[in-house]
Structure formats: C-alpha cells, structure tokens
Amino acid sequence: MNKRIKIITGKIVYNILAKHLPLSYSKFSFGSRKLRAFCGSLILEECGVNVNIEKGAQFDPRITIGNNSGIGINAAIGAGVKIGNNVMMGPECIIYTSNHCFERTDIPMCEQGFDDIKPVIIGNDVWIGGRVIILPGTRISDGAIIGAGAVVSKDVPPYAIVGGVPARVLNYRIRKS
C-alpha cells in the first residue's frame, strides 16, 4: 500500500473511531489498545512494538515512538518528537516543538507565523507525569522522571527527578548494581 494512502487511512480510522474508544486498561476496552497501536503504525514515522496510544491523544504523524512506550490520555504532541523505549506518559501532557514568532513589534504576533520546528527528544526508561508541558528543543535523558505539572524548558540530565515551574532537578534516581 502506498505510504500516503496508509497515513490517510490510519488518520481516518484513528480520528473517527480509535481516538474515542475506551481507555486501554478499562474493563471493556473493545480492543482499543490494539486498534490505536495499529493506527499509530500506519500514521507515525516510526512506531515500535507494544505501543500504547491512549484515548483522546493528538499527535503529528512526524513523530517516532519506541518499543513499550505510551502516549497519555488526551496528550498533544507536536511534530519532530522522538520518544524512546519504555517511556510512560501520564494524561494531558503537551509537547511543543514550535512557537509563535514575536520579534517584530510593527506586526501583530498572530500574523508573524511560527518558528521552525525544534525537536524534542525523550530518552529510554522515562516517566512523564500528568499535565507536564515540554517546551521546544528540550532533551530528556534516559531514566529521568518528570513530576506532574512540571514545565520543562531546559534539558534534563540522566536519571534526574525534576519538577516545578520551571522544572528543576529535585533529586536523582539511585542506581542499584
């Protein structure tokens, strides 16, 4: 099947049906997890195995998602996001990859367009809490935990636990050997 036709078919099935099915872990899910993962495999640039795209998630097709990773309930993810393996994402997370232009004062900001896409990269084994906002160009390193409600505006180091507005390092995960 032509790649463009696959993407269009996946988007139609996802937006009309799969996006509105029950949560993946509900008692009567009606196969929603499998159907949304199938749509993701048609739509996304790269889609790993055992992916969980939750109810109401909105995402640009120009993202990649690794094995055993998920997109949270009602999440909104912009173009150019790379999600690693084993990433957990809470509900209502927003990942921005571009911003409004605002340099000129002689033209209203709403008429200045958008900046270029600044990719967001999320490493492996990352836990993103509910209602987290991640700003353009940010890198979240392997093993990090982002506390619920945090606004991530800077890169997050490996195994850091961050939280707050703006997010700051609160602690580090202890590595057991």
Given pLDDT bands bounded at 50, 70 and 90, which one contains residue 173? very high
Q: What's the pLDDT tens digit per position in 35-57?
A: 787 888 888 888 999 999 988 89
Given pLDDT bands bounded at 50, 70 and 90, which one contains residue 3? low
Q: What is this structure's pTM?
A: 0.86
Q: What is the mean pLDDT of residues 62-88?
A: 96
Q: Which of 100, 102, 113, 116 is catalytic?
A: 100
Cβ-based neighbours of 118, under 8 Å, separated by 6 or more = 80, 97, 98, 136, 137
Q: What is the mean pLDDT of residues 142-153?
A: 98
Please tell me which residue, 45 or 146, carries the higher pLDDT value: 146
Given pLDDT bands bounded at 50, 70 and 90, which one contains residue 29? low
What is the pLDDT at residue 164?
Answer: 97
CA angle 69, 75, 78 (to 5 degrees): 90
| Known catalytic membership, residue 20 | no
Cβ-based neighbours of 16, under 8 Å, separated by 6 or more = none
Given pLDDT bands bounded at 50, 70 and 90, which one contains residue 156? very high
